[in-house]
Structure 1
Amino acid sequence: MAKRGKVHELHKNNFAFLGLLKCASCGCSITAEKQKGHNYYRCTRKKGLCQEKHYLREEALTEQITSYLQKVSLSSQDAEKVLAALDSEQDKAREDAQSEVSVLKEQLSRVEAKLQKLLDIYLAGALSTEEYAAKKQSLLSEKVSLSEKITDFETKGLSWLEPAREFVKSLNQAANLLSSPNPSAMTTFLKNIGSNHIVNS
């Protein structure tokens, strides 16, 4: 019953950074508790002894997170420049992809023509069944390879651009958090960009 009560207290106090951080000394999760009206964070020591003995007040932890956000943040002006550069890169990448697809389609047409010519030769009796089968298999393998490359260019050629845009926008979000600090929003941001953030007491 006591254990359940403790869990209930953690949720009741609504610690902003709970479940987000790892101890810098041992890598264990960080837990939290309220003392004298302040929120404190400490190592859970679930792996046993830990060199870290100190408690860290939420205000000090917020300063650490703010310092991190300052390092990764991107102003709206800089974000717009990067996004514009990505748009230009998209146009160039699309042109390059279209050019490459055109070349591949020409190669595919030649392979298909060879297959048809091979069939005509076989039907004319100029090739044995074994010779026809071997040459046909080689051309079919080449056809499949070309078709797969065309599909990759048409469906995946620009797939990296959208994640890049989202990443730039997230860095701009970090700048917005600095101008209007919000612990809950900070936690959401840090979870979105990655887990296992390290805290130093």
Structure 2
Amino acid sequence: MGDLNTELAELRESVASHVPAEVAEVLKADRATFVGVVAEAAAKPGTPMPDLALPDAGGDRVRVADGPAVVVFYRGAWCPYCNLALRTYQQELVPELEKLGVKLVAVSPQLPDGSLSTKDLEFAVLSDVDNELGRALGITFRLAPETKPAFDTLIGDVEKINGAAEWELPYPTVLVVDGEGVIRYIDVHPDYTTRTDPADVLAAVKGL
């Protein structure tokens, strides 16, 4: 297995060198506000996964609490760090999880028609429109208004992408849910350029 966070750090350097200087400064300052943040309101192991059903890319509703499952919250298909992480999880986690009889589900606030295509990913990609599930888990935050012009320059209108007026996103988070729908592991990353290592996810799953 490769080192996901090393690849993410290299991507961060690449992004900084390829965007306009003024946008790079906003991104750097924005990230700095999250480094060292602890998501104290996040759900704790031993608590039930909220029993919500979210639409997949085709519009079918999927119950997220149906375990055993690994649930991955990401910011959106517009986030290069999210795409790198999801593709790494597909390569390194999905084959191992299948052997263990555990599904992987990815969740973002993006509208279904804007989420990553299911033909690219071999697991369900669900839309938590309005961040109902993320908020219930205590893992969402609102972005500073002054950062919005920079993000609009890079990705387009977030309100249209997410179908919501509030510019709210989840912290990148991985949860492991057991067969009873109880959260057994949660790892929250306020610094969105870092992610949960696949080996840590597998260790948590094998501990069920």
The TM-score normalised by the length of structure 1 is 0.22
Q: Which has the higher strand share?
A: 2
The TM-score normalised by the length of structure 2 is 0.22
Q: Which has the higher helix share?
A: 1
